[in-house]
């Protein structure tokens, strides 16, 4: 069986395992992305069919079940989400940040504000989407309507780096390793104070996306190991004293049930 030739990224099998969905990329002579297209590929024949051609050509991700596609514009100021079963645009969301452009950073440089460096991820059930663009600029969206969920506590001083398995199965909890920054003011030549952010290390944080509340933070390089697929249980490598690391298991069932 021969698959239709194309540059493709991200893959999701359909439940019947007869086909998979992926995103095909076309580039111009300069190597820049000129077209994105969501495809359904038949595993038996290798033939593909188009599901949707997004207007935006920035960073993108498929939901785990392959039913939704999220694509950012190249300025990372808008995200469009598509229903691939119906081939329709569910919504286009414009981010409204407190300041634009963002504050400059010093120390360890933050990830640049460019579509290829931002991070976005669906929850396993496809109901929530997290988009992280810059220090203090992370938004969790209802992936069906585009409505913003409550602001994440403490995000003002963080670059949130959601990984591929950052949500619990129902999307309720978000877990991410974050770059932490602190705001600093310094006088310029005209004695006018300028504000910037200075890198201060890595933290690992667990949020309740329904309320935005930070449930737990590790300040010394905690690392996600795994999230349980059936309950809000996190396995994490965490500091244990000055020079040791241990494998910790954290059950957030009680915190979730309170809401």
pLDDT digits (tens, 9 = 90+) for 142-176: 999 999 999 999 888 888 888 878 999 999 999 99
Pick the range with the lowest mean pLDDT from 9-23, 65-79, 174-188, 203-217. Answer: 174-188
Closest CA to 215 of 232, 190, 235, 191: 232
Q: What is the CA radius of gyration of the chain?
A: 20
Determine the Cα–Cα distance for residues 234 and 206; give it in Å rounded to an integer: 9
Per-residue pLDDT at 6: 78
Q: Name the percent of the chain lying above pLDDT 70.
A: 85
Coil/strand/helix, residue 216: strand
- CA-CA-CA-CA torsion for 145, 146, 147, 153, nearest 10 degrees? 140
Per-residue pLDDT at 76: 86
Per-residue pLDDT at 232: 93
Which residues, 6+ apart, have CB-to-CB distance to 29 below 8 Å? Answer: none
pLDDT (mean) for 214-230: 86
CA 99 distance to own-chain centroid: 21
- Asked whether residue 113 carries a pLDDT value surpassing 50, the answer given is no
Closest CA to 104 of 185, 191, 165: 185
- Asked whether residue 52 carries a pLDDT value surpassing 70, the answer given is yes
């Amino acid at each position: 069986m021969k698959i239709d030739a194309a540059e493709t990224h991200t893959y999701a099998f359909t439940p019947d395992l007869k086909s998979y969905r992926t995103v095909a990329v076309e580039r111009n002579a300069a190597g820049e992305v000129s077209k994105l297209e969501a495809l359904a590929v038949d595993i038996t024949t290798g033939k593909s069919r188009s599901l949707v051609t997004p207007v935006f050509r920035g960073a993108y991700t498929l939901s785990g079940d392959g039913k939704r596609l999220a694509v950012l514009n190249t300025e990372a100021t808008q995200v469009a989400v598509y229903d691939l079963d119906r081939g329709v645009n569910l919504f286009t969301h414009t981010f409204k940040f407190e300041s634009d452009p963002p504050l400059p950073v010093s120390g360890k440089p933050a990830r640049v504000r460019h579509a290829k460096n931002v991070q976005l991820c669906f929850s396993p059930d496809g109901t929530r989407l997290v988009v992280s663009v810059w220090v203090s600029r992370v938004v969790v969206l209802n992936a069906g309507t585009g409505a913003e969920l409550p602001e994440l506590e403490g995000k003002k001083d963080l670059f949130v780096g959601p990984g591929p398995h950052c949500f619990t199965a129902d999307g309720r909890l978000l877990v991410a390793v974050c770059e932490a920054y602190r705001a600093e003011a310094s006088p310029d030549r005209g004695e006018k104070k300028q504000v910037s952010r200075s890198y201060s290390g890595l933290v690992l944080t667990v949020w309740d996306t329904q309320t935005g509340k930070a449930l737990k933070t590790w300040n010394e390089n905690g690392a996600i190991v795994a999230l349980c697929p059936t309950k809000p249980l996190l396995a994490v490598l965490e500091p244990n004293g000055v020079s040791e690391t241990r494998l910790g298991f954290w059950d957030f069932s009680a915190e979730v049930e309170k809401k």
